[in-house]
Amino acid sequence: MRALDKKLFRDVWRMRVHALGVALVLGCGLSVMVMAVGMRGSMERTRAAYYAERHMADLAVSAVRAPERIANVLAQAPGVETIETRISGIALLDLSGVSEPPSARLVSLPIEGRPRVNDLTLARGRWPDAARADEILLSQAFADANNLGLSDTLNATIHGRRQTLRIVGIANSPEFVFVAAPGELFRQAKRFGVIWMNREALARAYDLDGAFNDAVFLLGRHANQSETIAAIDRILEPYGGVGAYGRDRMVSDRFLSEELRQLSTMAIFLPALFLITAAFLVNIALGRVIATERSNIGLLKAFGYSNTAVAWHYAKSALIFAAIGAFIGSAAGIALGRSVADLYRDYYHFPALEFSASPATFIGAWAAGLAAALTGCVFSVLKAARLSPAEALTPPRPTTFFSAGPSLSRFEASLDAKSRIILRRIVRFPRRAGTTALGVAFAIALLVVARTMPAEMDYLLDVNFGVANRQDVTLTFTEARDSAVLHQVERLAGVLYAEPFRLDDVILRHNGRSVNEAVFGVPEQARLSQIVGARQRVMAPPASGIALARALAEKLGAELGDEIRLEQTRGRRISTNVRVTAIVEPMIGSSAYMEIAALSRLMREPGRVSGAHLRMDTARYAAFDRQIKQIPGIAGVSFVGQAETAMRSEFEQGVGVMNLIYAAFAAIMAGGVAFSAARITLAEQERDLATLRVLGFTRLEVSYILVGELMALALIAIPAGLALGALLSIWLMQLFQTDMYAFPFVFNPAGYAFAVAFTLGCVAVAALVVRSSIDKLDMIAVLKARD
Amino acid sequence: MTNAAPSHQSAPLFALRGICRTYGEGETAVRALIDVDLDISGGELIVLLGPSGSGKSTLLNILGGLDRPSSGAIHFRGAPLTGQSEHALTHYRRRHVGFIFQFYNLIPSLTARENVDLVGEITDDPLDAAEALELVGLGQRLDHFPSQLSGGEQQRVAVARAIAKRPAVLLCDEPTGALDVKTGVRVLEALQEVNERYGSTTLIVTHNADVARMGARVIRFGDGRVRSVETNTARVPPSALVW
């Protein structure tokens, strides 16, 4: 090994604490990068493979009732390669020991063979016997959440009729990787599942013998999707076709795409903070090394080493930092990726999801790490290269200090000498002070983001359940009923108050654009289910005309006063025009809203309602449940209160893990930066601090200078960190928001306080660890030491 | 050998008996001080002379509470200094000792006045910083930072800093070691002025034999032992010194 390389390794060993600090900060950033990019790739590959292997539908469509012979016509539509017709519906389930019945989507299995589109994978058990009407396959997430296994039976109310179903297999489908009940914001594995069952049994239940109400399609490689959709819609128009749609509107796929998008965001946002900090840390550490190595640089050049050789020698130490960081980041990224893959596998029930990051991912991460380290070292290294040997061999000029400037002079005068030392060092070394403050601010910002996201979710849930949906139970009728039915509902056990609602699935058309959405009919004086806008303002439905959510209005290109077309997709399939009389900004959902009586008149069903929201005496749920199961014509019972509990608990588990990871990252960021700064401050001030000890200052008094500087910088960083955290939160929430919900800005004082307290704690710990060196200061050496 | 102070001075400020200081153990042990007995009276100006490694700085460190003897006893104003805790030694330095270093050891981020004030902050009845700096001839340079002062000026700030607490003892380790003759003389003048005006016992460690001519007593060191103690009957002012 060349002598210079030996020196390099010894130098790096001497700087090992700084090297470790840089490597850890870099490692955090790169680990997230490897995890997020790798996970995104793994998920995409897994999804693609799963979709290909199980023939995930390219298009889907629902109809009211289409004769089976139409399937052949549909199969001839341009671009269609394979079609599978199905019967689909919703069942209420009666699980022993569960007082509030969950529900399930019912999907028919082909009479012969396996589904050609949206095929299933069996996790356990066997396929149902085509001759047995009661044998079913149950979705794995729902089975696991409710502890249901093979041979267990379920009582289901299907289209008003009770049936006993026997589980013979537990299955997963690419169609239902993510399952949410219709109209629900979040997945509730315990409350909503999927049942695949005998087609003939379902046909009998829904009176669809020789017909279907749902079809899924695979398209040919060169199919023009919009052309195919148009053809399918034309064919199914007489049979109540609701309009075919592609994967972009399939709930499960949309959710997965959303998850992938979030991984991409994470792959950029978190690593960026860490890489910037690492670059600054390298800058400071190397700056210090080159300052102390000044005479060595002079000697090397005097011996004949070129400027380039000297520059390269010092740049290599930054590269070693980066290499250690890349190693830590890669290893931690793989570990993190594997545990995230486990989480995703359990959550989505992918048949196989293995984390694997491509060589390109690693190369990308290493390149990013290298770039950060090189950017960090470039100024110091250039300085070393430019230093002339003669200059380098003379002692450095003493550091010149100056007063903090006229703006700070009054403040400076009010300080004691020790605090003045702190202030002047901060003003004298602004880049270093800035780096420390930046690192601390980033750590605070990270924690603010980590604490704001759950607070936003909490707020959304509060609004959803506290203002928008205050009912305990929502009953949905199989078809619109006269509002007199409310009197019957009010007589059910435990019902305190019933509020009608109307919901019509429609196609809204305007200016050649169309959107499938629901129009909600809301009573003017609604008390339970209300339209909620910004700052929780409750909005009344317009007395006449229709109110559109802004997102919906934008999709349609509709403005206030425009006339839009409504086409009912179920029931009488009324087509009519209506004027936009309000554009609202609901926090949840992006539907259309009308006054309930106006909507029922418009749909030519005056006085008819789709269901009722109920306020209940929750102690009487059991009696209510018994009665409701006996009533025909109830399509669904949604226990809103229970949904809230389930959602909050699932949510809190996720938040717990996330908070832990963010806290660890913030601790490394703040601790690493503070530790590095403290070590350099100590190294630079060792002589001064020892002098103070000789002069009779106690350890505590001397420690104040070291710890005080760090804490002062941390205090300066607080407002910047909080502001940055708030801005990042707003940006991330805007990225995460969808058609389903909008996030308002939520100020979360407890979260902000935690972010500050935790970060200051990390800085204090780092400072105190370094402070212990003050106890070991060599006071005698200082008497002889030259400045 | 007992090197007692002149008999006309009663209770000594320092009484050292059998002081030994050994660094390391076994074959590599270095005996820096061997069996030193010494009495130092209040207000004396003593010059400790000797070549490098003769033990004079070790004695200064022990008197300043920076180092502890391996054996022997020291009394300061009749109270034992040996066997004291780290905390007690810090307070001893804080209350009674002024240090002057070879390389000044000023805090670079504080002005001349603030360097002096710094000591004032931990002392009950300090001299006014401006007054202390006036005394060493730096009344016009109060608000200069160390980097703006010459070596001699910096050392005079260090003298002002040391005397600001009105110390019982001033310990000066090669105070002129880094200075040319002219500035060195000015520093020594300042030390003598302080010694005379405030009566601080002053010990000056030097290997410059000429400086010895200004001391009331001259203690010569060699190989860790006190080789001689001379009372100077013909003291000369610093301005008469040449080296």
Average pLDDT value over all residues in chain A: 88
Q: Give how far Cα A255 sits from Cα of A84, A186, A635, A662, Å.
A: 23, 10, 26, 24
Burial (CB < 10 A; 0-12, 13-18, 19+), residue A517, is buried
With beta carbons under 8 A apart, name residues in chain B contacting A688: 105, 107-108
Please determine, for residue B10, whether its predicted confidence score (pLDDT) is greater than 70: no
Residue B2 banded pLDDT, cuts 50, 70, 90: very low
Q: In this predicted model, which residue has the larger pLDDT, A389 or A642?
A: A389
Between CA A783 and CA B99 the distance in angstroms is: 9
With beta carbons under 8 A apart, name residues in chain B contacting A776: none
With beta carbons under 8 A apart, name residues in chain B contacting A784: 57, 102-103, 173
Q: Are strands B45-49 and B217-222 parallel, antiparallel or unpaired?
A: parallel
Among all residues of chain B, which has the CA nearest to that of A691?
B105
| Contact at CB, A696 and B122, closer than 8 angstroms | yes
In sequence order, what are the residues at sequence separation of 6 or more whose Cβ sits closer than 8 angstroms to the Cβ of residue B155?
A: B100, B104, B175, B176, B178, B179, B183, B187
Tens of pLDDT, residues A123-170: 999 999 989 999 999 999 999 989 999 999 999 988 878 899 999 999
Three-state secondary structure call for residue A99: coil
Tens of pLDDT, residues B198-209: 899 999 999 888
Q: In this predicted model, which residue has the larger pLDDT, B102 or A362?
A: A362
Residue A71: CB atoms within 10 Å: 16
Residue A623: CB atoms within 10 Å: 14
Q: In this predicted model, which residue has the larger pLDDT, A625 or A687?
A: A687
Among all residues of chain A, which has the CA nearest to that of B145?
A401
| Contact at CB, B118 and A399, closer than 8 angstroms | no
What residues 412-441 of chain A have any CB closer than 8 A to a CB of chain B? Answer: 416-418, 420-421, 424-425, 428
| Contact at CB, B108 and A398, closer than 8 angstroms | yes
Average pLDDT value over all residues in chain B: 89
ipTM, interface predicted TM-score of the complex: 0.89
DSSP string, A700-747: HHHHHHHHHHHHHHHHHHHHHHHHHHHHHHHHHHHHH--SSB-PPP--
Please determine, for residue A569, whether its predicted confidence score (pLDDT) is greater than 90: no
Burial (CB < 10 A; 0-12, 13-18, 19+), residue A96, is exposed
Please determine, for residue B8, whether its predicted confidence score (pLDDT) is greater than 60: no
How close does chain B come to A405, measured CA to CA in Å? 14
Tens of pLDDT, residues B16-73: 999 999 998 888 889 999 999 999 999 999 999 999 889 998 999 999 999 999 999 9
Please determine, for residue A604, whether its predicted confidence score (pLDDT) is greater than 80: yes
Q: Give how far Cα A277 sits from Cα of A370, A438, A659, B80, Å.
A: 13, 7, 21, 54
A17 touches chain B (CB under 8 A): no
**Best residue in A428, A698, A787 for a mutation probing chain B (most B CBs within 10 Å):** A787
Highest mean pLDDT among A84-88, A410-414, A447-451, A662-666: A84-88
How close does chain B come to A778, measured CA to CA in Å? 9
pLDDT (average), residues A664-690: 88
What kind and span of H or E run contains A474? Answer: strand A473-482
A401, A425, A697 member nearest B122 (Cβ): A697
CA A441 to mean position of chain CA atoms: 23
| Contact at CB, A696 and B101, closer than 8 angstroms | no
| Contact at CB, B107 and A691, closer than 8 angstroms | yes
Between CA A629 and CA A493 the distance in angstroms is: 12
Residue for token digits 């930066």? A673
Three-state secondary structure call for residue A785: coil
B67, B90, B117 member nearest A417 (Cβ): B117
Q: pLDDT over 70 for what percent of chain B?
A: 96
Query: Which pLDDT score is estimated for B7?
Result: 42
Query: Which pLDDT score is estimated for A139?
Result: 95
Which residue numbers of B have CB closer than 8 Å to A's CBs? Answer: 57, 61, 64, 66-67, 87, 90-91, 93-95, 97, 99, 101-105, 107-110, 114, 117-119, 121-122, 145-148, 161, 165, 173, 178
Between CA B241 and CA B176 the distance in angstroms is: 12
| Contact at CB, A695 and B99, closer than 8 angstroms | yes
Query: Which pLDDT score is estimated for B219?
Result: 95
Residue A257: CB atoms within 10 Å: 15
B57, B67, B107 member nearest A688 (Cβ): B107
Tens of pLDDT, residues A606-616: 989 999 999 99
Among all residues of chain A, which has the CA nearest to that of B101?
A783
Tens of pLDDT, residues B128-152: 999 999 988 888 999 999 999 998 8
Q: Are strands A575-584 and A546-549 parallel, antiparallel or unpaired?
A: parallel
| Contact at CB, B102 and A399, closer than 8 angstroms | no
Highest mean pLDDT among A192-201, A239-248, A580-589: A192-201
How close does chain A come to B105, measured CA to CA in Å? 7
Specify the amino acid at residue A270. L
CA A769 to mean position of chain CA atoms: 36
pLDDT (average), residues A747-761: 93
| Contact at CB, A787 and B90, closer than 8 angstroms | no
Highest mean pLDDT among A115-124, A286-295, A393-402, B5-14: A115-124
Query: Which pLDDT score is estimated for A30?
Result: 95
Please determine, for residue A721, whether its predicted confidence score (pLDDT) is greater than 50: yes
Residue B5 banded pLDDT, cuts 50, 70, 90: very low
How close does chain A come to B178, measured CA to CA in Å? 10
Helix axes A640-694, A699-736, angle to 10 degrees: 150
Residue A577: CB atoms within 10 Å: 10
pLDDT (average), residues B153-178: 90
Q: pLDDT over 70 for what percent of chain A?
A: 98
Tens of pLDDT, residues A457-486: 888 888 888 888 889 998 888 788 898 888
pLDDT (average), residues A565-574: 82
Cβ–Cβ < 8 Å for B37, B16: yes
Residue A183 banded pLDDT, cuts 50, 70, 90: low
In sequence order, what are the residues at sequence separation of 6 or more whose Cβ sits closer than 8 angstroms to the Cβ of residue A303?
A: none
| Contact at CB, A695 and B95, closer than 8 angstroms | no
Residue A592 banded pLDDT, cuts 50, 70, 90: very high
Query: Which pLDDT score is estimated for A184?
Result: 67
What residues 688-727 of chain A have any CB closer than 8 A to a CB of chain B? Answer: 688, 691-699, 701
| Contact at CB, B109 and A784, closer than 8 angstroms | no
Query: Which pLDDT score is estimated for A697?
Result: 93
Between CA A205 and CA A158 the distance in angstroms is: 7
Tens of pLDDT, residues A419-471: 999 999 998 889 889 988 998 999 999 999 988 888 888 888 888 888 888 89
Please determine, for residue B3, whether its predicted confidence score (pLDDT) is greater than 60: no
Cβ–Cβ < 8 Å for A477, A635: yes
Please determine, for residue A632, whether its predicted confidence score (pLDDT) is greater than 80: no
Please determine, for residue A547, whether its predicted confidence score (pLDDT) is greater than 90: yes
Residue for token digits 């629900």? A184
Between CA B32 and CA B58 the distance in angstroms is: 7
Helix axes A640-694, A417-428, angle to 10 degrees: 110
Specify the amino acid at residue B172. C
Q: What are phi and psi of A784, to 5 degrees?
A: -105, -10
pLDDT (average), residues B81-97: 92
